[in-house]
Amino acid sequence: MSPSSTSLWAIIVAGGSGSRFGSDKPKQFLDLGGKSVLEHSLALFESLDWVEGVVLVLPKDFVSVWKSKLLHFSKALQVVEGGSRRQDSTEAGLAKVPENIAWVLVHDAARPLVTAKIAEEAFKSALKTGAAVAATPVADTLKEGDEKSLVVKTLSRESLYAVQTPQVFAKKVLIESLDWASTKHLSVTDEASLLEQRGYPVSLSLGSSKNFKITRDQDLEKARALLAWEERQSVKSHFRLGEGYDVHRLVEGRDFILGGVKIPFEKGLLGHSDADALFHAISDALLGALALGDLGHFFPDTDAKWKDANSGELLSKVYQAVQEKNFSLINLDATVICQRPKLAKHIPSMRENLAKILQVSLDQVSVKATTEESMGFTGQEEGIAVRAVVLLGSSLL
C-alpha cells in the first residue's frame, strides 16, 4: 500500500523510569486530576480525528497491564516495550506503525497538558519541511558558566527556544535518521536532534509554557494546580446563576394574572403590561444570569408598544435571547409572597405554563407561595412580591 500524504500515527513515549522524580512509581503513572499523567496524553490523541492510530511505548513491567486497560481505546492501538534510551523507545514504537503511514508524531507522556492546538501546529509546520518541533521562545536571560560556577558569558536569547513535544516527522526521514545514529553510535535526548546533525531542516512550531515536562514532584503539583484552575474556569463558563425580584401593587379594576393564570379576585396587579410578577421576576433572573440587563431595558414602560403586553410572550423573548447565547435552563425556583388570594391550587397550572415557555420538563420548575403573616405591604394586601432564582447551563458542554 502507498502511504497517504497526510496519514499520521502518534507514538507516545512513556518508557522512562522516572528516576529523577524520586518515586517508586514512574512519573507517567502517577495521579493527575483523577487519572494518570499518561492518560491525559492518550485522551488528547484519541480525540484528534487526524491521528489514525497510537503506539504506546512503556516500561516492560507495565505492558501487559496497559494492554488490558486500553481494550476499549477507540483508535488503532499498539502497546510495546521501550528501550533503555529515548531513541530505542522511539524505534520500538516506529516498528509498530503501519507501512502505509507517511507521518509520525512523537510525544513525551510526561507532558500531560499538551493541547490539540499545539499538536496541530506542529503537524502543519512539518508538512512544509518534513519535520517540526513544538517550542517556546526563551524568556529568561541565559548565561554560560564554567566548572567553577563562574559566568563565562551571557547568551543572546533572541534566537533561543525551549524545545518540547510533540515532534512530527515524515516517517521515512525519521527511520533513516535513527538508522544513521545507530551506525554512528550516537545518543540523543530528542528525535529532532538527529535530523539536525544530518543537516535536515526542522521547523519550529508554537508550543506553550503550560506544556511543561513533569520531572520532579513540584512539576506534578504545578500541573495539578493548573488543572484545578482550568476546571474552575470551565464551571464559570458553563454555568450561570441568576436572581430576580419583582413587586406589583394590588388595585381594583385590574385582572389578577400570575404565571399566565387568571385568578379570580376582587383586585388585580397594576403595571404597564399585564403585571405578571412571576413571569417578570423569572425574566429578570434569566437576564441577570447572563449580564444582559433587566426587563425594563428590553421592554420599557415608557413604550406604548408594551402597554398591556402578555408577560408570557415577554418571557419567551427573554428566553430566546438566553438561547442565542448558547445557554438553556437547568432549573428555576420561585417564591410568591402574597397574603391573598390563596395560590396553592393554581400553582400546577403556573408550572405547566413556565415549563412550556422555557422548553423544559415540570421537574425543572419550582413555584412556591407564602405569606408574611399579615406584616409588611404584602401582608397588608397592598401588593405582592416574587423572588426567583435560575441556573443556566451552556449548550456547548
Report the SS3 class of residue 142: strand
Rounded CA-CA distance 317/306 in Å is: 13
Residue 105: beta bridge partners? 10, 168
* Strands in the chain per DSSP E: 8-13, 31-32, 35-36, 53-58, 76-81, 103-108, 131-137, 142-145, 151-155, 161-170, 203-206, 239-251, 257-258, 261-262, 268-269, 327-337, 365-370, 383-394
Domain membership flag for residue 128 = yes
Domain count, the chain: 2
Side chain identity, residue 186: L
Cα separation of 290 and 312, whole Å? 20
d(CA 395, CA 330): 10
Same structural domain for residues 185 and 276?
A: no
Distance, in Å, from the CA atom of 383 to the CA atom of 372, rounded to the nearest integer, reads 12
Classify residue 230: in a domain, yes or no. no
Does residue 366 fall inside a structural domain? yes
DSSP 291: T
Residues 6+ apart with CB under 8 A from 251: 267, 268, 269, 270
The single-letter DSSP state of residue 161 is E
pLDDT for residue 234: 67
Same domain for 207 and 266? no
Confidence at residue 306, expressed as pLDDT on a 0 to 100 scale? 76
In a domain, 247, yes or no: yes
**What is the rounded distance in angstroms from the CA atom of residue 170 to the CA atom of residue 172?**
6
On whether both 30 and 131 belong to a single domain, the answer is: yes
Residue range 42-71, pLDDT digits in tens = 999 999 999 999 999 999 999 999 999 998
What is the predicted pLDDT for the residue at 269?
92
| Spans of the chain below 50 pLDDT | 1-3, 20-21
| pLDDT tens digit sequence for 64-92 | 999 999 988 999 999 999 998 999 999 99
Percentages of the chain per state (helix, strand, coil), in multiples of 5: 40, 25, 35
Question: CATH number of the domain that 265 lies in?
Answer: 3.30.1330.50
Residue whose C-alpha is closest to residue 250's, from 378, 367, 344: 378
Contacts of 249 (CB under 8 A, 6+ apart): 269, 270, 382, 383
CA 63, CA 290: separation in Å to the nearest integer? 49
C-alpha cell at 329: 435552563
pLDDT reported for residue 305 = 79
Give the pLDDT score at 1. Answer: 34
Q: pLDDT tens for residues 360-389?
A: 999 999 999 999 999 999 999 999 999 999
Paired sense of beta strands 35-36 and 31-32, if any: antiparallel
- 173 and 282 in a common domain: no
**Cα distance between residue 322 and residue 329, in whole Å:** 9
Distance CA 373, CA 390 (A): 27
Instruction: Please give the Cα distance from 92 to 80 (Å, whole number).
Output: 7
Residues 195 and 241 in one domain: no
Same domain, 154 and 102: yes
- Residue 97 and residue 206 in one domain: yes
- What does the pLDDT read at residue 17? 56
* Enclosing domain of residue 140: 8-215
What CA–CA distance (Å, rounded) separates 114 from 44?
8
Domain shared by 197 and 329, yes or no: no
Residue 2: predicted pLDDT: 42
* Residue 32 sits in the same domain as residue 129: yes
Same domain, 139 and 283: no
